[in-house]
Amino acid sequence: MTGDSTNTAILPGGPFIAKSTTTITQNTRDTAVFGNVEYKLTDQLTLLGGARYTESKNRYSSCMRGDEGMQATFGFFSNLLGGTTNGPVTSQSCLNLDATTFQMIQTPFHDHLNEHNVSWRGGINYKPTKDILLYALVSRGYKSGSFPTVPASTTGQFSPVTQESVTAYEAGFKITALDRKLQINAAGFHYDYRNKQVRGIILDPIFNQLEKLVNIPKSRINGAELELILTPVHGLTLHGGATYIDSKVQRFSGINNNRITEDYAGSALPFSPKWYLVGDVNYEFALSDSLHAFLGANALYNSKANSTLISGADSLPELSQIKAFTTLDLRAGVKSADDRWTFSVWGRNVTNSYYWSNQFVTQDVVVRYAAKPVTYGATLKFNFR
């Protein structure tokens, strides 16, 4: 989105920046060994346990190339900041500047990241009756460290984030009632994160600010979810679900959109709406012994969320917000009684709700991705058994 920012005219009189291409390669190899065990203490009580050792190796390379405007701009600032003159610059030169010397790297930047971890889980299942399951779980998992997939002005943006870890606590129940016409599933959970990976900002000598992957030292998510499945009469299935999320940064300081260091403690994590609600109804009935028909609808609600961390001194809280949205899908069709084939016609987002599926802020540009408008179609599906 360089061409949309005010930085297109860094050099008075041009040539202006209009186009650049960043080529990034990451080769990752994971090696792991794991095991799980279940031990039945009684007919009602079962203990669960497992562990996994993982070793990860990542090889990374990156190179930004650009048009004449990019070549002139980076050549000018390399000479100015580095104090020496660069060699010939072409459309195949890697224009990124060394973070220490400010000389163009010319050839692709290379780095590597090696990590290892031990993830584990333990839990207990208790079934007082055949229709009730009570459970509690605790586990620790990891997300591998990674290099950024972003266009970089200097090699300072290339530094990787380390692996993030989460210790998850969950307890809940699954209940079948009303002669198996009703299924109730519910759970509460607490996720304790260390070094969570998010997109942050780095101060840049050319573009003032650019994106970079950063680690949040400590953050957490509290939440609960409820799911109901009801079949009141033969052929009719009602499904409803609700998820509540309360996320919070507990310790992290970083650069905000005003280009100053800010304490982000208390901010919600990016892309973590507080509410996610879904409802589905499906009615299936027989047209003959071998042919069935069905009608259905699905609705969902997603509450507002921030696409970036938000601090008290941030000037873009509104622009960083993804608004709440609601969608409705409809479907109808026929199928064989043995599920060998299904033909359906459907409409997705039939209310033509306009909403954003993603957005981010880069330099002084807000980039938003609109979701699909109302879409109609037909599907023919076969099951080969």
In which residue ranges of the chain is pLDDT below 50?
Answer: 1-2, 8-9
What pLDDT shows up at residue 1?
46
Cβ-based burial of 382 (10 A; exposed 0-12, middle 13-18, buried ≥19): exposed
**Closest to 299 in 3D by CA, of 244, 240, 371, 223:** 240
**Closest to 66 in 3D by CA, of 20, 4, 10, 3:** 20
| Opening angle at CA 12, ends 11 and 13, nearest 5 | 110
Rounded CA separation 166/142 (Å):
6
3-state SS string for 312-365: CCCCCCCCCEECCEEEEEEEEEEEECCCCEEEEEEEECCCCCCCEEEEEEECCE
What pLDDT shows up at residue 312?
65
**Closest to 218 in 3D by CA, of 198, 242, 243:** 198
**Closest to 3 in 3D by CA, of 78, 67, 64, 74:** 67
The predicted-structure confidence for 91-107, as pLDDT tens digits, reads as follows 889 999 998 899 999 99
The predicted-structure confidence for 55-66, as pLDDT tens digits, reads as follows 999 999 999 998
What pLDDT shows up at residue 190?
98
Cβ atoms < 10 Å from Cβ of 33: 9
Rounded CA separation 378/347 (Å):
9
| Opening angle at CA 36, ends 222 and 117, nearest 5 | 65
What pLDDT shows up at residue 289?
92
Beta carbons within 8 Å of 259's beta carbon, 6+ residues apart: 201, 203, 208, 209
Question: Residue 188: what residue type?
Answer: G
Rounded CA separation 270/280 (Å):
28
DSSP for 167-206, please give it. EEEEEEEEEEETTTTEEEEEEEEEEEEEEEEEEEEEEETT
What pLDDT shows up at residue 335?
96
Phi/psi of residue 313, each to 5°? -100, 5
Beta carbons within 8 Å of 162's beta carbon, 6+ residues apart: 115, 145, 195, 215
> Token pair for residue 248?
């919070």
Rounded CA separation 251/249 (Å):
6
Domains of the chain: 37-59+118-382 (2.40.170.20)
Q: How many residues are present in the chain?
A: 385
